[in-house]
């Protein structure tokens, strides 16, 4: 699986082909030679050294290297849990490359700009995309959790496995969304705020328009256009997301000082939606509530990776510049203490 050149676009396929070649060629590491790719190594012979070789092979693409090792680790963990492998997971004691966590969010102005677009006339032309953008900002849920939700509860195990959750009953009254098997391996009941309910009702209504009626064949809130029986994926909205960034002037222009290469990057992504939402919850209701809304197992995770303070929160005047209380004024001799 690791060596198969997956990818939709030519650029993706080319990138994956390079990874495949790096994992397959003869490689010298720590005084030994790795002659075969890991897929040709019997599982009983895979050691920590083989995992270190993978990291060394892919050292120029550290994120990819870490992802490959994570997949291998999951395979061994599954085998150990199901008693199909009796040795220790060879990935356990191998140190991965440090990961640079993205800790960024939309500014208040840009958040308002995006939400105004979501609730504007533009909704009639991009109802599913803008509903998804709105829910990602209002609810703060993970992208993968929202993409697969259904309008109604699935009636059998097969349908349950194909979705990520469902709107509970008459969602306008219950104001609840049920998510299956979230990242912390537990189901979650999510509160739908009034604005989220209004978006969903607007989307449900527009489905009955002649040009949108194809979506009635789908049980999903966010169906694929050409395969309505399947739910959308993140790539379904990739082009629309870039168009939204350009329309709202959210693109970020970068220039490499060393090479002179120039690049436009998205200033708003779905990953930023979640961090923006959780930061807003923390600002308004505190870290404990924000952590619960994020469905994190600890507040520390929320603080470390999700909460991004507003710049103006750090614009604090020097507290010693001016007296702040009567006592301060007396101590500094600004007024006379008349008490004997």
Cβ distance 117 to 247 under 8 Å? yes
Is residue 330 scored above 50 in pLDDT?
Answer: no
Structure tokens at 234: 């993140």
pLDDT attached to residue 310: 60
User: Which has the closest alpha carbon to 109: 263, 246, 254, 267?
Assistant: 267
Confidence of residue 94 (pLDDT cuts 50, 70, 90): confident
Cβ distance 251 to 238 under 8 Å? no
Please identify which residue in the block is written with the tokens 């199901």. Answer: 82
pLDDT attached to residue 133: 97
Please identify which residue in the block is written with the tokens 């504007």. Answer: 120
Provide the β-strand partners of residue 78: none
Cβ distance 336 to 324 under 8 Å? no
Provide the percentage of residues in the chain whose pLDDT is more than 90. 43
Confidence of residue 174 (pLDDT cuts 50, 70, 90): very high
pTM of the model: 0.66
Q: Of 7-11, 59-63, 286-290, which gets the smallest average pLDDT?
A: 7-11
Is residue 179 scored above 90 in pLDDT?
Answer: yes
Q: What is the DSSP letter of 298?
A: -
Q: What is the DSSP letter of 181?
A: S
Q: How far apart are the first and last CA of the chain?
A: 85
Run of H or E including 172? helix 171-174
Q: Which DSSP string do the residues of 71-91 spell out, in sequence order?
A: HHHHHHHHHHHTTS--S--TT
Q: How far apart are CA 276 and CA 103, in angstroms?
A: 10
Q: How far apart are CA 126 and CA 49, in angstroms?
A: 51
Average pLDDT over residues 181-205: 92
Average pLDDT over residues 10-28: 75
Tens digits of residue pLDDT in 104-133: 678 889 999 999 999 999 999 999 999 999
Q: How far apart are CA 62 and CA 49, in angstroms?
A: 17
């Amino acid at each position: 699986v690791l060596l198969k050149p997956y990818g939709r676009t030519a650029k993706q396929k080319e990138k994956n082909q390079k990874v495949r070649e790096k994992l397959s060629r003869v490689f010298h590491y720590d005084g030994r030679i790795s002659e075969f790719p890991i897929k040709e190594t019997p599982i009983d012979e895979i050691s920590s050294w083989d995992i270190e070789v993978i990291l060394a092979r892919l050292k120029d693409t550290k994120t990819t290297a870490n992802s490959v090792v994570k997949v291998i680790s999951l395979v061994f963990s599954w085998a150990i849990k199901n008693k199909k492998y009796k040795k220790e997971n060879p990935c356990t004691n191998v140190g991965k490359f440090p990961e640079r966590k993205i800790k960024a969010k939309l500014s208040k102005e840009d958040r308002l700009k995006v939400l105004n677009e979501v609730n504007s006339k533009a909704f009639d032309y991009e109802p599913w995309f803008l509903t998804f953008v709105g829910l990602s900002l209002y609810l703060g849920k993970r992208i993968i959790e929202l993409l697969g939700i259904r309008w109604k509860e699935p009636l059998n195990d097969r349908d349950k496995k194909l979705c990520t959750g469902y709107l509970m009953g008459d969602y306008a009254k219950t104001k609840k969304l049920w998510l299956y098997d979230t990242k912390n391996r537990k189901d979650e009941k999510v509160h739908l705020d009034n604005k989220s309910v209004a978006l969903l009702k607007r989307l449900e209504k527009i489905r009955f328009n002649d040009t949108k009626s194809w979506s009635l064949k789908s049980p999903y809130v966010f169906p694929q256009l050409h395969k309505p029986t399947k739910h959308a994926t993140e790539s379904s909205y990739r082009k629309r997301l870039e168009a939204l960034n350009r329309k709202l002037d959210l693109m970020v222009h970068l220039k490499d000082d060393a090479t002179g290469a120039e690049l436009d990057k998205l200033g708003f992504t779905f990953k930023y939606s979640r961090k923006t939402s959780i930061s807003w919850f923390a600002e308004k209701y505190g870290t404990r509530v924000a952590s619960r809304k994020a469905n994190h197992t600890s507040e520390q995770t929320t603080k470390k990776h999700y909460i991004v303070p507003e710049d103006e929160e750090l614009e604090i005047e020097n507290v010693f510049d001016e007296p702040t209380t009567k006592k301060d004024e007396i101590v500094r001799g600004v007024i006379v203490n008349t008490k004997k």
